[in-house]
Chains A and B, each alone.
Chain A
């Protein structure tokens, strides 16, 4: 009997200790929270350092990593003892998007983050978890931004995101490979492009680079240019029912007959590898890639590049430029006014025109901040600016212009199209079904 009582006591002790363990940790958590609150209160009263966490994608091999990192360091030094931005490095775009979405849905929005999707930002703003930047962006900093980018970024009349990096996308031609194939003039229409492609193919060079993995980025840009050529400036406003999307699908179908055999399933590394190593002659990507072409491309590639705006189709809509906001800065809603000030101070710091110019010169990227174009050191980048300014019309890229589900359906629909599973009409139906 004694043994049983002892065993029972042991069991109860074990149970209670494990529960009390939970209780303790809860207590500990409560204590930690209390401490945090106390710290915040204290900070409010004694001007302690306000820390902003910033999951950042511009790290690692990203062309903006070095100078942007320096910019953050500069901010931390300038505001030492007051504000501090702590970068949390993220290197994969898909995982970055998932992380931001998950953080926001669980009520733990990062203090600062970037997003390339206005659709996602609308959702976050709707949930009330973003900081309202309307007053800030309507103030002194407004004059730093180009054109109507701030106005265009409004969600229900308010700014919840600050436009920052622009996707200004030229078509890049390797002149050396084109010349070797007997092409002396850069194509300006799709008919001329097909002629050039035939000549390049005959020379054993992949005429274009295409991909379907991940978000099919470069092929999506080709498609965007095809939509611009077929539908003009307002193709997106008419929706996927516009015949331009169907005609653009036909162009993509043909485009895939002029690419490498690994295009279906290829990701950005494959596409870049082909162009950087002169296995492919024509490539489409944003201006930010120029920095990588310079450092990672084969010798002479950078100097052999010639850039052009969009091509015309049946003599129409030539010279367009794909130009849209590529990265917005946003901030999680802050209850602490000091933290709000810290966020504003950081946004003000990174939109300083001189700093942005340095970032543009180092990375090849272009920004929504109005910088002196004459100070752009990189000639190709300057060409992009000049060409885009001279363009008869600008169009956003497909991914930024359609709902997230449609953008996500694009790669598999494109694969089905080029594999012959579906017709161009079927391609449009697949995209429509995803809406």
Chain B
């Protein structure tokens, strides 16, 4: 449909304020980061142009690749474990079983508690000397399995991932909102056709909340890629950088007064995020077609 000139002007005028803000606070800073990633810059004194040397340095740094790999694993675990768990909870709770409101609140609870408080709690759980986890293991006769969970190279990252999995409430609420908006007649028709509860969920609910699921998967991937708080608070990237993630890597570059390297890492993070989002949109749009 072709728009008339005055309609086009109207649309442009409506979009203009938001566009100005978007350009000022998003596009320009990203452009600045991209440009400054080509400079040797300590953040304090004037930078000097160094071409792609910052990229060459981070690409030759094994910690960068370890961080990137951890981010990808984190994003995958969020998409393939967190979101399905949230979906399962949403499906169960949307049937309004007894105490469903209580459980909805419980699952959402981690989202509203300070990350620092939760991290402190988890470090207490994982502590090797006095932690709850080792305490339980010793009590049930598995004392030999007890270890320094966050200091052990084989368990540290898994421990942080497990901690992250408790943040399903946000996705659960999005999907519950999607389920609530489904017309009851679909279920009535399915019942008449003899569908059981599982079949109704599988063939009616899930396809109809596809967009909610797509949103959750996108959000989970994005949150996974920009993870910082949990890692910083629980292990600070240790032991020996095994739990490092890109934002922490970037942060450490800044702590070293290497803002050029930090900007190059930021560009890589943005590019990785863009690729992941495009892939997710592609996957869901293919299914739609």
Contacts and interface: CB of A to CB of B under 8 A. Distances in A.
Interface of A: 4, 7-8, 11-12, 14-15, 18-19, 94, 97-98, 101, 104-105, 120, 123-124, 126-127, 129, 212-214, 260-266, 270, 279, 404-405, 408, 411-413, 415-416, 419, 421, 434
A115 to B, nearest CB: 13
Given A18-B17, A124-B44, A8 B129 contact: no
B237 A262 contact: no
Contacts of B236: 213-214, 411
A415 B128 contact: no
Interface stretch (B135-143, B179-187, B253-261, B266-274): B253-261
Given A98-B255, A105-B44, A11 B10 contact: yes
A123 B10 contact: no
B148 A262 contact: yes
B238 A405 contact: no
A263 B150 CA distance: 10
B9 interface: yes
A261 B13 contact: no
Interface string B110-128: 0000000000000000011
B151 interface: yes
B215 interface: no
Contact of A126 (B44, B153, B237, B255): B44
Interface in B247-289: 252, 254-258
B16 interface: yes
B132 to A, nearest CB: 14
A416 B240 contact: yes
A127 B45 contact: yes
A404 B240 contact: no
User: From DSSP, what is the main secondary structure of chain B's interface residues?
Assistant: loop
B77 interface: no
A4 B6 CA distance: 8
A261 B45 CA distance: 43
Contacts, number: 104
Given A11-B13, A408-B255, A415-B239, 17 more contacts: A8-B6, A14-B13, A94-B255, A98-B255, A101-B257, A104-B44, A123-B45, A126-B44, A260-B128, A261-B148, A263-B151, A264-B148, A265-B156, A270-B127, A405-B256, A412-B238, A416-B241
Nearest to A414: B240
Given A98-B255, A261-B148, A265-B148, A412 B17 contact: no
Q: Which of A120, A126, A214, A262 lies at the interface centre, i.e. has the most chain B CB atoms within 10 A of its CB?
A: A262
User: From DSSP, what is the main secondary structure of chain A's interface residues?
Assistant: helix
A101 B43 contact: yes
A129 B42 CA distance: 14
B235 interface: yes
Interface in B27-69: 42-45, 63
B42 A415 contact: no
B14 interface: yes
A213 B17 CA distance: 46
8 contacts: A8-B9, A124-B44, A126-B45, A212-B238, A261-B151, A262-B127, A264-B238, A264-B239
Contacts of B252: 408
Contacts of A213: 235-236, 238
B153 A123 contact: no
Contacts of B17: 14-15, 18-19
B213 to A, nearest CB: 36
A419 to B, nearest CB: 6
Nearest to A274: B129
B215 to A, nearest CB: 29
Nearest to B18: A18
A400 to B, nearest CB: 16
Contact of B256 (A104, A129, A408): A408
Q: Which of A11, A19, A127, A265 lies at the interface centre, i.e. has the most chain B CB atoms within 10 A of its CB?
A: A265
A279 B13 CA distance: 69
B32 to A, nearest CB: 13
A262 B255 contact: no
Contact of A101 (B9, B44, B241): B44
Contacts of B42: 123
A419 B255 contact: no
A8 B42 CA distance: 49
Given A11-B10, A15-B13, A264-B148, A105 B43 contact: yes
Contacts of A127: 44-45
Given A101-B257, A265-B235, A266-B151, A11 B14 contact: yes
Contacts of B238: 212-213, 264-265, 411-412, 415
B44 A419 contact: no
A270 B238 CA distance: 16
A262 B239 contact: no
A273 B135 CA distance: 18
A420 B50 CA distance: 36
Nearest to B255: A408
Contact of A212 (B9, B128, B239): B239
Contacts of A404: 255-257
B45 A265 contact: no
A26 to B, nearest CB: 13
A14 B10 CA distance: 11
Nearest to B9: A8
A264 B44 contact: no
B191 to A, nearest CB: 48
Nearest to B13: A11
A418 B124 CA distance: 23
Nearest to B152: A264
B17 to A, nearest CB: 5
A126 B240 CA distance: 33
A129 B46 CA distance: 13
